[in-house]
Structure formats: structure tokens, C-alpha cells
């Protein structure tokens, strides 16, 4: 028996300017889908992953982790002139412990249209 609750019975409409419509149509055509189907797929994908896809989160997390490590290394080299093995291990451990959380927060802020500071803090406030 067919589950009628799965039928598409609701619609969403949006108005766009002609230039935006043409750009969306180009993208839909390139994907080989009708515009309405492409728009539905994009909206549903965004609804499934409001803070970015798992791949986006992982990539951004690695970049944030690396940026944190580099910031801490620059701080050490400019202030202490050297980095010990223990310091380096601590930098990596701290970066790994926070990178996913920071990436998700950053992606959520982007979704909200806000900027977010991901700069590693210097001195006593190192991340």
C-alpha cells in the first residue's frame, strides 16, 4: 500500500530578480535537474545540515586546528625563541580538542549571516 503522507502536497514560493533566476536556472541546468527539483534538493540538504555538511565541518575544523597551532608556534618563536616537544604536543592537543566545536560554531554564524573571529589568542589566552 502507498503511504500518502510521503506525497508532496505543500509548496514554497519565493520571488527573485531576473538575474538571480537566470543564475539559479544555469546551476540547475548544469546539474541536469529542473529548477524546482534542484531548489527543493538544495533546501532539504540545508535543512539536514544547518551547520554545514560533515565534510565542510571536518575541513574547516582542520583549518582552524592548523591555524591555532601556527598561531601558538609564532607566539612561542617570537617570545621564547624556541618550542619544546612538550609545548608542541600541548598545542596539537588543545587544537584537536576544540577544532570541531569551533568549526560548527563558525559555520552556524555564517548561516546566520554574522562574522566570527577564529584568530588564536596570543599570550596567556592561547587556544
What does the pLDDT look like over 15-65, one tens digit per residue? 999 999 999 999 999 999 999 999 999 999 888 887 788 888 899 999 999
Instruction: Name the 3-class secondary structure at 78.
Output: helix
Percent of the chain exceeding pLDDT 70 equals 85
What does the pLDDT look like over 68-102, one tens digit per residue? 999 999 999 898 888 999 999 999 999 999 999 99
Instruction: Name the 3-class secondary structure at 60.
Output: helix
**Burial classification of residue 60, based on how many CB atoms lie within 10 Å of its CB (0-12 exposed, 13-18 middle, 19 or more buried):** buried
Dihedral pair phi/psi, residue 96, rounded to 5°: -65, -35
Following DSSP, what letter does each residue of 28-53 receive, concatenated? HHHHTS-HHHHHHHHHHHHHH-TT--
Position 19 scores a pLDDT of 97
Position 125 scores a pLDDT of 47
Position 80 scores a pLDDT of 82
Amino acid at each position: 500500500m502507498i503511504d500518502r503522507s510521503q506525497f508532496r502536497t505543500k509548496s514554497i514560493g519565493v520571488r527573485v530578480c531576473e538575474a538571480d533566476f537566470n543564475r539559479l536556472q544555469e546551476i540547475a541546468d548544469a546539474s541536469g535537474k529542473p529548477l524546482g527539483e534542484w531548489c527543493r534538493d538544495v533546501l532539504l540538504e540545508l535543512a539536514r545540515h544547518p551547520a554545514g555538511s560533515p565534510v565542510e565541518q571536518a575541513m574547516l575544523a582542520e583549518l582552524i586546528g592548523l591555524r591555532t597551532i601556527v598561531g601558538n608556534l609564532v607566539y612561542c618563536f617570537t617570545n621564547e625563541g624556541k618550542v619544546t616537544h612538550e609545548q608542541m604536543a600541548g598545542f596539537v592537543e588543545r587544537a584537536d580538542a576544540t577544532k570541531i566545536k569551533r568549526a560548527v560554531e563558525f559555520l552556524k554564524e555564517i548561516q546566520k549571516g554574522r562574522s566570527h573571529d577564529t584568530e588564536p589568542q596570543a599570550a596567556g589566552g592561547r587556544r
